Chain A
Amino acid sequence: MPKTRNILTLTDKKLLALEKKANEIRQDVLRMLEHAGSGHSAGPLGLADIFTALYFHILKHDPKKPNWKERDRLLLSCGHVVPIRYATMAHAGYFPKSELMTLRQFGSRLQGHPEITRLPGLENTSGPLGDGSPQSAGMAYVAKMNKLPWHTYCVMSDGELEAGITWEAAMFAGKNNLHNLTWIIDRNNIQIDGYTEDIMPLEPLADKFAAFNFHVIEIDGHNIREFVDACRYAQSIFESPTVIIAHTTPGKGVGFMEFDPVWHGKTPKDKTELNKALKELRTLGGKIESEVE
């Protein structure tokens, strides 16, 4: 767990370990969602590689001290994908993995949409789309103004970019050259009612952000090395905030969920469907044999 500014080099050995961790986290996400009986599957699976890389390689943080003042801030704007954050946090040691099965239940700290006042380690409450990016800009503004030694990241969905507040926040971040701010967009092309380009086209997305004075990097969101490199590059930019457009596959790792908008807001319906999905993850889609059934 990096406690100082990480220079973000990534050895092949560490890369393999991160990929394995992401796979384990995906499995926990599916178990949580099936147990909860409601929630979103596609987004959390699609973000597993990014969250694993953030918590296990990129962020400066300490799970034992969630309020550590010098920690990097990771905001989640699209609150509906929070199972991936909860699962990654549990794997990182913020709370016991057994608590993951309380997701969406009465009295749980793991609310259906994340609440900062209930669970230490979160940086914001989110769910209503669009509110994360401006809050991350406000935090980065304070850090820049007071020369505080942390970086602010905000993970956003692509669908929520349809909300005008995102572009209000982008204007503010661009105006103030918030170079200590990195937005990460989960560009998976789906939203509840279908494909983003049918619902409300976002392209040319990179050009839009460039026009708002952002430094834009486009990557494969499942290539952990590319993502780590992009974050390192973002830290070296001193003229503007950076946006990483991470192209991801919704439902990544589970064939029958991938690319299907139906799985945006749905969970495995029973243990049979869950086991089918878990087997796919364990065998990497049938490429290897699984030791357990």
Chain B
Amino acid sequence: MLVRSWKNPKSLLQIPTRNGYGDGLVEAGKKDPNLMVICADLTESTRTEAFKEAFPDRFIQFGVAEQAMAAVGAGMALAGKTVFITSYACFSPGRNWEQIRTTGCLQKTNLKIAGAHAGISVGPDGATHQMTEDIALMRVLPEMTVLIPCDAIETKKATVAAAKINGPAYIRFAREKSPVFTTESAKFEIGKAQVLRKGNDVAIIGCGPLVYECLMAAEELAKSGIEARVINNSSIKPMDEKTILKAARECGAIVTVEEAQAAAGMGGAVCELVSSEYPVPVERVGLQDEFGQSGKPAELLEHYKLTAPWIVKAVRKVIKKK
């Protein structure tokens, strides 16, 4: 599941997860002649360019009109297509939530929403472009599938998987390069989480590129005798309840990690589950009811306490509550 040298960050390929989306679209497009891609004036940066070159007839340049993009996509889906609408996450689903709700979810159409440049690691663009509320916005919608893959390889698999399922789906990815630490052969399945590292003292449940920080935090904790179970929770909805509850039972404490608001996101989903089925203390690493700002991605992740050392601190805090 993990590449052999995962413990050595310098040995890993650094590829943005958006590249995985671009690769996944081309692969899914080869398999499904009814797959179409719409982009809102961000073809290069969202990596839809490769699809555009491979299947020019099935690519639509929509311009900066995210609301109509969603509804036009749903209309195409009603006429038999599987449609990926693509923009930055702050505009889609940030700007077109109602159209996604009505024309995507309520109608149960094959409308797939791809949110690029999510999280604060967008960096210098600043808070307007740093989407941190999208997980909450999407996971609350009935019928919606929500996927947040952890690296470029998993993003490719998640894109292909989203194309195959019936109904709307949201897939989130990032702008910045991040370590590729999962293998091509690792199985990706919607509704399944992967245990990347064994341990019974605490469970660290992450999603997106920060999963690598979770692994680094676990390695650091091991030095002081704390063995953390690390779970890649890339399928936020449907969530792998079995794996999460098993972790709650066997580890007795949980830290969730996401590059998004700590409220109502992936961590919120974990809290909802364990509080009703097997209550254990949970610490949520994420943005604490605040917006980001301009800066280098690394310094922003550090400032907003989303890196391995902060995950370690959260673990030490939550373990005391066991």
Let me know if A139 and B67 touch, CB within 8 A: no
Chain B at the A interface: SS class: helix
Q: Chain B residues near A130: list those with CB within 8 A.
A: 67
Q: How far is the CA of A215 from the CA of B315 in the complex (A)?
A: 65
Q: Tell whether B75 is near chain A: CB-to-CB under 8 Å.
A: yes
Let me know if A171 and B103 touch, CB within 8 A: no
For residue B105, give the distance in angstroms from its CB to the closest CB of chain A. 10
* Besides the known contacts A135-B71, A168-B68, 12 further A-B residue pairs in the complex with CB atoms under 8 A apart: A115-B107, A116-B78, A125-B102, A125-B107, A135-B72, A137-B72, A137-B75, A141-B75, A141-B76, A142-B75, A165-B67, A169-B72
Residues of A82-139 at the interface with B, using a CB-CB cut-off of 8 Å, are 115-117, 123-128, 130-131, 134-139
Q: Chain A residues near B74: list those with CB within 8 A.
A: 135, 138
Let me know if A135 and B103 touch, CB within 8 A: yes
A138 closest partner in B (C-beta): B75
Q: Chain B residues near A145: list those with CB within 8 A.
A: 57
Q: How far is the CA of A137 from the CA of B102 in the complex (A)?
A: 16
Known contacts A168-B65, A168-B67: does B107 contact A142 (CB below 8 Å)?
no
Q: How far is the CA of A117 from the CA of B142 in the complex (A)?
A: 14
Q: How far is the CA of A116 from the CA of B69 in the complex (A)?
A: 20
Report how many residues on chain B are interfacial, defined by Cβ distance under 8 Å: 27
Q: How far is the CA of A135 from the CA of B67 in the complex (A)?
A: 11
Q: Tell whether B9 is near chain A: CB-to-CB under 8 Å.
A: no
Known contacts A115-B106, A123-B78, A143-B79: does B98 contact A134 (CB below 8 Å)?
no
Q: Chain B residues near A123: list those with CB within 8 A.
A: 78
Q: Tell whether A164 is near chain B: CB-to-CB under 8 Å.
A: yes
Known contacts A115-B106, A125-B102, A125-B103: does B71 contact A142 (CB below 8 Å)?
no
The listed residue with most B CB atoms (<10 A of its CB), out of A128, A134, A137, is A134
Chain A at the B interface: SS class: helix
Q: Chain A residues near B197: list those with CB within 8 A.
A: none
Residues of B5-52 at the interface with A, using a CB-CB cut-off of 8 Å, are none
Q: How far is the CA of A231 from the CA of B60 in the complex (A)?
A: 28
Q: Tell whether A172 is near chain B: CB-to-CB under 8 Å.
A: yes
Q: How far is the CA of A130 from the CA of B103 in the complex (A)?
A: 11
Residues of A140-165 at the interface with B, using a CB-CB cut-off of 8 Å, are 141-143, 145, 148, 164-165
Let me know if A135 and B63 touch, CB within 8 A: no
Interface pairs A-B: 7 shortest CB-CB: A138-B75, A168-B68, A135-B75, A134-B71, A168-B65, A142-B79, A138-B72
For residue B203, give the distance in angstroms from its CB to the closest CB of chain A. 38
Q: Tell whether B177 is near chain A: CB-to-CB under 8 Å.
A: no
A165 closest partner in B (C-beta): B67
Q: Chain B residues near A139: list those with CB within 8 A.
A: 75-76, 78-79
Q: Chain B residues near A116: list those with CB within 8 A.
A: 78, 107
